[in-house]
Structure 1
């Protein structure tokens, strides 16, 4: 009996047939990334896929007596959602995989459009933990919704299709950058400098603000919008990059928004393969994790708890105690990414405890920062159960931490679900360049993330 652990990558372990499945899975994953660059677009994608597999809305489900095998989707304001496959006894708990679908980006301010130095620009307010210096001089796209004066919703996506214009944030040329170069990375580009170029040519016949007026004219012609409509819109700037293979062996994926859509796609693929489970299976896709899980579409908004109460009620013989037991007896994977060992930045990593790209899904006993602040520290009994499921289903897995102890850290939705009394552990994909406009993951790890969630939930 060998007492020490032997580390092997996914590529060394899988056979040729599974290798084909791995690459096929990642082609679908890249398509998902390109179609879902905002949480609204991801929710639309998830619900469409659910309907194809026979899922019905929670509103439809509660009109009848819910029973084992029913497949139900919850749409929470088009910005977060959940999929349920009903098991035998909800009171005995559920198997839940909870991911989030929001990603760092630039949101437009409520009065964004202005004219300066022969350009029309948009003012932004960054969302989530970005590194501001990474956003200038890359191709950008505009995504979101607005409402015209008649109350019609207008969907806007500009910069993604071949032939579309893109948008742009300026940076200082090196010839004049002597003072900027003396600043720290955080100071070189500030939040108020992330202004997006949207136009340059003037509107004929206008004397004042003619470039801004030209932009408004174009928006009015195409979308029936006026300037006031910006104040009640949800519009975001995201990278215009498409998901691409990386490396001559095409073994990695570079794309915007892989935190946390790599886990969300795996979560979706896993739940869609579950039929009539003994324990109710749930996939949660939450919003607002990147800004602390606040707001009525976030994990802390109790939309999930309310949905469980509705399901218990529709199954007959409702009581609050049954709802509380259903939540407290549940077992949960908090599906979020973690940092992988980067050969260029080893000084911030604990190499003996870091995750490595290509070594499968990463089990993370605790997140948080420094003295385990704001973490859910998973119980050993639950970790053993998760390990047994992963090993039984031949899932390649590893453990990881978020860098050295006092270097920083990060949080997930784990602590919110743990407040119900459920058993919770973080488990997701190790990645590189997290929160950058273009992030990097191993195809081996994204595929094993899906296999890991399926092993846990089915």
Structure 2
């Protein structure tokens, strides 16, 4: 008899089907970081959040707000804060994923084929991008009269393809595996002809502009296969960009739920969705920038406080920095720490590393585990094998830039950085429920 207990988790507002299907819809709507931010913004709009522009003066008022900078977003509620010195509960995530991005002068022609020059973004498993129908998404910046304007681009036609070399022409693949040169082997073809195509002209048509008015772009390829519930019992989610749109979706859902649940201690509830995590976060909107510390200062000022109030707030703030976590792979179990098996649909995962590749310490871990207990959600623990290097995420740099207690966590995943990754259906409901409890805690720190 099939054990379906893993599919039976349910919390008010966080059913398995709603969260798993909601994640699929979120991923499908968000082929680029700019689209992910727009998708979260629509969810926040529907929940009564008010968008603020960074260049404007913010009135001293309480309420639900968010602001956007490119592919990054910060949203917060001050409805449950006693004053500017009240601590914050923050859930962090990132909106970008590894992919192939279009170069500034992309048009190529070779052997009767029209190609586009691309650059690998992030640590992609690049062989998974072969033989896929690829669309194009992101944003373009253009001249619109006497100003510069940005426009979202989303092309879901099967526009591009990177074709694998036939095995008949490379018999060594069985012994040596796939070896790809990013410069030589990854240029997608999008037409036939001895002359290069006209990429700028094509994009201009898509945004109803003149080619000479297209002045720049942040454009990337995306897989056209939709996110799907898979497996015999539909207990898994197969999708592109789960790293880290699963956390972006869960964090947005959690904030919307948490603002209606007063925490035991007056608290400002915040989510921050960063861009550029996959390439080091050193940009004007990445976690390595002053973007989030500046938002913390402005939120404090919105509550009528000054820098001393902000520092008092940060002294009791806890940040949960979310990225995906490695589930134990059944075909490569030896690559995992044997005492820390991570089960799919086993609940969110605390990520611990004593070399501080993750920011988690005992206080942060206890805060997160308490949220799991509050939500009725099991919490797992991940450490990498002692003889393998450990990856990292934005948790340590967020902790360093704010001085706040920070814990790194994730949701179990297989095939991380593949064009299509795998997660658990039930994990999505437990993920969001745990984060909602973290944002509106029943226990305090200190």
Instruction: Return the offset for 1:62.
Output: 5.2
1:57 is the counterpart of 2:51: yes
Show the counterpart of 1:157.
Answer: 154
Instruction: Count residues with an aligned counterpart.
Output: 427
Matches within 5 A, 1:53-452: 53-59=47-53, 63-67=58-62, 70-76=63-69, 78-86=70-78, 87-148=81-142, 150=144, 151=148, 153-159=150-156, 164-179=157-172, 183-185=176-178, 187-200=179-192, 209=195, 212-213=197-198, 218-224=202-208, 232-273=216-257, 274-275=259-260, 277=263, 278-316=266-304, 318-366=305-353, 372-401=354-383, 403-419=384-400, 420-452=402-434
SS where residue 158 of structure 2 aligns? coil
SS in 1 for 2:197: helix
The C-alpha deviation readout for 1:231-256, integer Å capped at 9, x for no partner, is 61111011111001111211101000
Residue by residue over 1:129-166, the C-alpha shift from the partner in whole angstroms, topping out at 9 and shown as x without a partner, is 1122221111111112224454554432222xxxx333
Alignment check: 8 A CA contact 2:33 2:138 kept: no
- Please, which of 19, 27, 31 is the counterpart of residue 25 of structure 2? 31
Secondary structure of the equivalent of 2:159? coil
2:288 match: secondary structure:
helix
- Distance 1:319-1:397 versus aligned 2 partners, 3 A rule: same
CA–CA distance in structure 2, aligned partners of residues 220 and 378 of structure 1 = 47
Match of 1:369 in 2: none
- Distance (Å, rounded) in 2 between the aligned partners of 1:16 and 1:279: 26
Alignment partners' CA distance in 2, 1:265 and 1:103: 14
Please tell me whether the aligned partners of residues 227 and 240 of structure 2 are also in contact (alpha carbons under 8 angstroms): yes
Unaligned runs of at least 5 residues, structure 2: 441-446
Cα distance in 2, alignment partners of residues 139 and 49 from structure 1: 29
User: Hey, what's the Cα distance between the residues in 1 that align with 2:297 and 2:9?
Assistant: 45
Structure 1 portions without partners, runs of 5+ = 1-8, 203-207, 367-371
SS at match of 2:124: coil
Give the whole-Å Cα distance in 1 for the aligned partners of 2:371 and 2:83: 21
| Change in 2 beyond 3 A, CA 1:237/1:75 | same
Describe the SS at the equivalent of 1:169: coil
Structure 1 residue 224 displacement after superposition: 4.8
Identify if the C-alpha distance between structure 1 residues 29 and 427 changes in structure 2 by more than 3 Å, giving closer, same or farther: same
Give 1:5's aligned residue: none
Q: Secondary structure at the match of 1:90?
A: coil
The 1:149/1:380 distance shift into structure 2, 3 A limit, reads closer
| TM-score (normalised: structure 1) | 0.86
Instruction: State the 1:359 CA deviation.
Output: 0.8
Q: TM-score, normalised by structure 2?
A: 0.88
